[in-house]
């Protein structure tokens, strides 16, 4: 691809695994310890807001203590050094892309954010949220983590689809490709004529959808891939 081409990169939990943040579907992952329908749906939040808050409070504390790894730093370098546009779309709700100096579209929201379900006001989440918190704007007791739950529509989809329609290269890093709409991005990119590459610890069920593959831990394969793209030593 010529160096002016747009690159779209989709990232998932595998990117932050080596920063000490657990993935969802690997052995012993978050969805082996918690039921999605208890902690990650609007219905769960209506039923038991304190349980849902406790789940995200724990993850917020962990994410705040984590540091970006070599893969986050390599992606930040690519975004800075590539002559064309590099759009990072993340399913991760940690802030590790930003901590590495990159900009990312948070399609599944962010642990650092709080949202009022009554008036849509957004603010910085305190480390610990509870079901009794009041919205600072409208005082409704309906404050929630600014996280997209199962059954809700991910953020900034129109913008993401627009980028996919114009990209020359699409990469999916550390994601199992089990959750739509993100799992469908590779097809959108292919329709736009992009070359597609999967970077993952192991071949996944959706590997067949990609032209190219790099297999190994993100902290090794992502810096190597970025160096190859940018011609850095």
Residues marked active site are found at 108
194 or 221: CB nearest ligand OAD: 221
**Max CA-CA distance within the chain?**
55
69 binds ligand OAD (CB under 6 A): no
68 binds ligand OAD (CB under 6 A): no
81 binds ligand OAD (CB under 6 A): no
Q: Which of residues 98-157 bind ligand OAD (CB under 6 A)?
A: 108, 148, 150
19 binds ligand OAD (CB under 6 A): no
From candidates 68, 145, 168, 174, binder to ligand OAD by CB under 6 A:
174
Q: Which of residues 186-215 bind ligand OAD (CB under 6 A)?
A: 200-202, 204
From candidates 70, 112, 118, 179, binder to ligand OAD by CB under 6 A:
179
* Residues within the interface to ligand OAD (CB under 6 A): 12-14, 17-18, 23-26, 29, 40, 91, 108, 148, 150, 174-176, 178-179, 200-202, 204, 217-218
């Amino acid at each position: 691809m010529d160096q002016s081409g747009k690159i779209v990169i989709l990232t998932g939990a595998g990117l932050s695994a080596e920063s000490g943040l657990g993935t969802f579907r690997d052995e012993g992952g978050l969805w082996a310890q918690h039921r999605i329908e208890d902690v990650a749906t609007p219905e769960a939040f209506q039923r038991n807001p304190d349980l849902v808050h406790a789940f995200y409070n724990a993850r917020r504390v962990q994410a705040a203590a984590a540091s970006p790894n070599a893969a986050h730093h390599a992606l930040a370098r690519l975004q800075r050094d590539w002559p064309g546009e590099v759009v990072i779309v993340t399913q991760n709700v940690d802030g590790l892309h930003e901590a590495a100096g990159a900009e990312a579209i948070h399609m599944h929201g962010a642990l650092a954010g709080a949202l009022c379900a009554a008036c849509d006001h957004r603010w910085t989440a305190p480390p610990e949220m509870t079901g009794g918190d009041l919205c600072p704007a409208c005082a409704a007791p309906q404050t929630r983590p600014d996280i997209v739950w199962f059954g809700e529509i991910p953020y900034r989809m129109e913008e993401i689809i627009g980028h996919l329609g114009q990209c020359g290269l699409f990469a999916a890093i550390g994601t199992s490709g089990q959750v739509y709409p993100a799992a469908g991005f590779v097809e959108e990119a292919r329709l736009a004529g992009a070359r597609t590459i999967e970077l993952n610890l192991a071949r996944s069920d959706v590997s067949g959808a990609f032209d190219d593959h790099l297999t190994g831990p993100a902290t090794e394969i992502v810096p190597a891939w970025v160096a190859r793209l940018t011609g850095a030593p």
